Amino acid sequence: MARVLIVGAGLTGSLCAALLRKETPRPVHLTVWEGSGGRMATARSPCNPQSTVDLGAQYITRTPHYAKKHQSFYDELLAHGILKPLTSPIEGMVMKEGDCNFVAPQGLSSIVKHYLKESGAEVSFRHRVTQINLRNDKWEVSEERGSPERFDIVVLTMPVPQILQLRGDIANLISECQRQQLESVRYSSRYALGLFYEAGTKIDVPWAGQYITSNPCTRFISIDNKKRNIESSEVGPSLVVHTTVPFAVTYLEHSTEDVQELIYQQLESILPGLPQPVVTKCQKWRYSQVISAPANSHGQLTLHREPFLVCGGDGFTQSNFDGCVSSALCVLEALKNQI
How confident is the chain (339 residues) per 10-residue block, as mean pLDDT? 95 97 90 84 91 95 96 98 97 94 96 96 93 96 92 97 96 94 96 96 95 96 95 91 98 97 97 95 96 88 95 95 97 89
Cα(92)–Cα(210) distance, integer angstroms? 6
Question: 166 with 264: CB under 8 angstroms?
Answer: no
Q: Which residues contact 280 (CB under 8 A, 6 or more apart)?
A: 193, 194, 195, 196, 260, 264
Closest CA to 102 of 60, 57, 53: 60
Cα(173)–Cα(137) distance, integer angstroms? 13
This prediction has a pTM of 0.95
Cα(256)–Cα(283) distance, integer angstroms? 8
